[in-house]
Every structure is written in structure tokens, then in C-alpha cells.
Amino acid sequence: MSGRVYLIGAGPGDPGLLTQKGAQLLGQAEVVVYDRLANPVLIDRHVSPGAERIYAGKASNRHALSQEEINSVLVQKGLEGKTVARLHGGDPFVFGRGGEEAAALVAAGIPFEVVPGITSAIAAPAYAGIPVTHRGHNTSFTVVTGHEDPSKVESTIQWEGLATAVGTLVFLMGMENLALIVERLVAHGRPVDTPVALIRWGTWPKQEVLVGTLADIVSKASTASFKPPVVIVVGTVVGLRSQLRWWDNRPLFGKRVLVTRSREQASALSSLLREQGAEPVEVPVLEIVPPGSYDEMDAAIARLSGYDWVVFTSANGVRLFLDRLQALGRDVRALGSARLAAIGPATADELRRCRLKVDLVPAEYVAESVARELIALGVQGKRVLLPRAEMARELLADELEKAGASVDRVVSYRTVPAGEISGVRGQLEAGEIDVVTFASSSTVSFLAQGLGKEDTASLLSRTLVACIGPITADTARGLGIRVDVVAKQYTVAGLVDAITEAMGGG
């Protein structure tokens, strides 16, 4: 029985532009055959870890697989009964050779579906602030291959019609033929003062835009060493970029930011960084794992209704404590009349997500402030449960005990090194990371452990180092790391705000 092949458009680069159907089918695929221009984030984010991944990237004169080989792979995997996702950059049928792949599948009798993607022909100009149509400028646009063989005796492109048309012209894959494209447009009547934009890596965090006219764009591109992939836009709408530019003028645009949080928690910080234009580089340096033994936690849960306060110092602590509660066949009713404290808004949000009322969030999101405010409420003779990380600071429990509380310190989770992170060393040495973020003391310690404590300060010396709060910053300084930014509000949102301000965007 044959499988089914899905020809999926990945969109132009921004992972948010993948269609919902495309994401769903990527998750179901047993085999994924993907292009050079399909953002690797889509593979990491949507493809099952057990799926076979086949790279079929093609650049000028460098093909991982020829088109005939790609067709063969799709047919072979289909005949094996596999569910196959063929992931094209942009749209499969807009100069994507998806039609040839579909024809090969038809010939082999293999069912297929086409999932259109957003083509770079409209997305790249849009992300450059250039609408391909605009009332007062034009009412049409034409998408043209820029990859036609210049040695052909006769061109299949109707240059005279293109040159004299009033609409916008969009050339895909045309950077290597830029001089020829300009020459033929001018020769067939396009005015030399017609605006032109070259959009490199459109919709990606590394997008570059070069603007000129038919008279000077070739020399400008040569001076700037502009390389593919590039979308070429010709027309008066190019002049709107100065007014409508939005993607590449965000405060952190083009900055590569190292996110060291655990894989489960990285997405929140990465999402905020992307909103400001940064490119997050996720290198989780730690993992959150259960305690070595549940004995302490199980004993505390057995007497849970006897506590006056349960104090959570992280969202991880909330999640793993409540998971254990459920594993023991109990639910939040076991809390009885215990009041709940959270060290900060993220921890409080995790409690509220579980429909639990939060009785205390301190004004400052550190253990010292939690202790002060609990003591002000009166903890003499009170019983306090403190579920926390194995290597947590003792300050909170010690201060509460000094004030007369009975505190049970229970390990609800451990942080352990995430494994091999040596790949980031080369990026740091090459100056490819602009900002390093630390959202906890553990992230500092484990990054230093992975890079080598004797090398870490030197490796980070050319980056901006940003810490979520003073405790994390102190840990970094204790390892000899220069700290440039400490968030005023000790949250991931506060961390991004502080980075933005430090880099001149605040």
C-alpha cells in the first residue's frame, strides 16, 4: 500500500508564516524532505523526533540532491507506505518545482496533496515595507524568474511587455543575473530612474534591503557584496519603504541573542525577543528533572492541610509539586486552608493557571522580599511548606525560621546540565552572538560548566551579558563574568526591556 506525499510551502522564512495545515502535517510526517530556504526552526518545532529527515537543499551550483533524486526519494518513500512531507521554501508551485514532483508522484500512482505557502514574492517586499500594489502607484504586479539561463538563444521572458508595463516587477532567484535583468529592462524601455529594491533573506531576522534605481543598483550591489537569496522589486512602490518600513527597524533587529533557559521555558523569552526583532539562539544549558527521591515531598503532601502557607519560588516548583499531588491521587483540595505565596508573576501565573488563588506576590521578586512580607504578615508559630529546587538558596527558609515559623524544606525538582553545548563555543569565538541572557543562577553555572569555567569570562567578553536579577548577576560576577545589564523587573519581560534599553531601543 502506498503512502501519501504532502507538498508543503514553508513560507519565506519567518516561522510564524507557516500555515496551520502545514504545521499539522509536519507533525504527522514519518519522512520530511526539506529545502535550504525552509527555516530550520520549523523542523525543530513541528517535526516528530522519530521522523526521518532528508536535506534536499539547493544553492547555485551546489545541490545536496538533484531534482531527479528528490523526485526519486519522494516516490520511493511513498511506495514504502510512508507519510511524507516535502517542505519547500515559499510556495511549492511558485518556481518551487513542486509541479515536477507532483507529476512524478502521479506517474508512480502515489496520492499527494499540495499545501500552499506564502511566497517570498509578496512576503519579502511586505517585510521590507514595500506593498507590491498600492493605489496611486499601480494595480498589478508580475512575478518573474530571475534564474533563466543567460546563454539561451531566445528568452522565454517577454522583456518588452515587462519593461513597458506600469505594474510592479518581482524577480525571484535573480541576484546572479541582476546586471542582465537591468540591461534588458532598460533596453526595452524601462526608465533608468525606476526605483529598485534588493531584499536579501526576506522575513528572516538577518534581512537586508538595498535600494537604488536601474541606473545604479548593479554598482550598489557590487559595493555591498550582496549575495543570494534575494528578491528583486522594480517599481515606484519601492519609494514607499521610507514610510512603511517596520520589520527591520525594530530595536533589536539583527541581534543574535543566546537563550540559556531549559527547553520547556525558552519559548517565552524567545517569543519576546522575536517581537523586538532579535534572533533567539536557543541553547538550553539545563534540564528540569524530578527529585532523586519523592519521600520528602510525599510526606509533606500527606500532611498538606496542616500548613498555614505554601511558598513557591518558581513556576517549575509549582508544576512539579502539583504533578506529584495528582500522581498520588489527590488534588488541590488537599491544600485545605493553606495560603499560597509566589516569588514573582511567572510563578503566580502558573498557580492561577491551575485555578489557585495567590495570596502573596512580593513587591520585589527575590527571596529576601518574600521573607520580609511574610514576616510582616506574622509567621510566629505558623507552619510553612517550601517546595523548591535541590540547590536553592537557604535564605528564605532561614529568615522565616528566625521569625518563629516552622519550615519544611522539600525538594520538588532538580536542575541538571542539559548535555553537550560545545556548539555555542564556536559562535561565541566567532563573535556571532550579540547578547547572552541568564534567567537564573543555574543557567550561569551550567553554561560556565559546559564552556569551562576558566574560559567562560573570556568567551563572553565580546557580548552583552544580561541577567534577570541581582542574584543571578552576583552568580555571574562570582565566576568572573562581566555583567552589563540587570533587569529592573525580575521577569523575562523585564529582561527583554532591559536589553532593549541597553541597546538603544528603550
H helices of 29-97, in order, are 40-46, 67-79
The sign of the dihedral angle between the CA atoms of 311, 312, 318, 320 is negative
173 is catalytic: yes
Burial classification of residue 468, based on how many CB atoms lie within 10 Å of its CB (0-12 exposed, 13-18 middle, 19 or more buried): buried
Return the bridge partners of 283, or none: none
Active site residue 1: no
Q: Is 58 a catalytic residue?
A: yes
Identity of residue 100: E
Dihedral angle of Cα 267, 273, 274, 276, to the nearest 10 degrees: 160
Specify whether the CB–CB gap between 485 and 460 falls below 8 A.
Answer: no
Is residue 414 a contact partner of residue 293, using CB atoms and an 8 Å limit?
Answer: no
Q: Which letter does DSSP use for residue 93 in this model?
A: T
Cell reading at 146:
530571475
- Separation CA 459–CA 420 (nearest Å): 17
- DSSP assignment, residue 67? H
Cα–Cα dist 215/434, whole Å: 36
C-alpha cell at 84: 511524507
Nearest partner of 147 among 94, 194, 199, judged by Cα: 94
DSSP letters, 407-463, are EEEEEEEEEEE-S--THHHHHHHTT--SEEEESSHHHHHHHHHHH-HHHHHHHTTTS
Taking alpha carbons only, the member of 188, 301, 295 closest to residue 234 is: 188
Strand partners, 456: none
- Helical axes 263-275 vs 492-502, angle rounded to 10°: 40
Q: Which one of 14, 35, 91, 434 is the catalytic residue? A: 35
Q: Which of the 8 DSSP states describes residue 333?
A: G
Q: What's the burial of 431, exposed, middle or buried (CB within 10 Å: 0-12/13-18/19+)?
A: exposed
Residue 165: Cβ-neighbour burial (10 angstroms; 0-12, 13-18, 19+): middle
Task: Assign 204 to helix, strand or coil.
Answer: coil
Q: In the numeric block, which cell numbers belong to residue 43? A: 523542523
Q: Which of 173, 175, 297, 503 is catalytic?
A: 173
Find out whether 435 and 467 touch, Cβ atoms under 8 Å. Answer: no
To the nearest 5 percent, what fractions of the chain are helix, strand and coil?
40, 20, 40
What's the CA gap between 304 and 406, in Å, rounded? 14
Cα(23)–Cα(40) distance, integer angstroms: 13
Half-sphere exposure of 119 (CA within 13 A, CB side): 19
Pairing of strands 58-59, 52-55: unpaired
Where in the sequence numbering do the catalytic residues fall?
A: 35, 58, 173
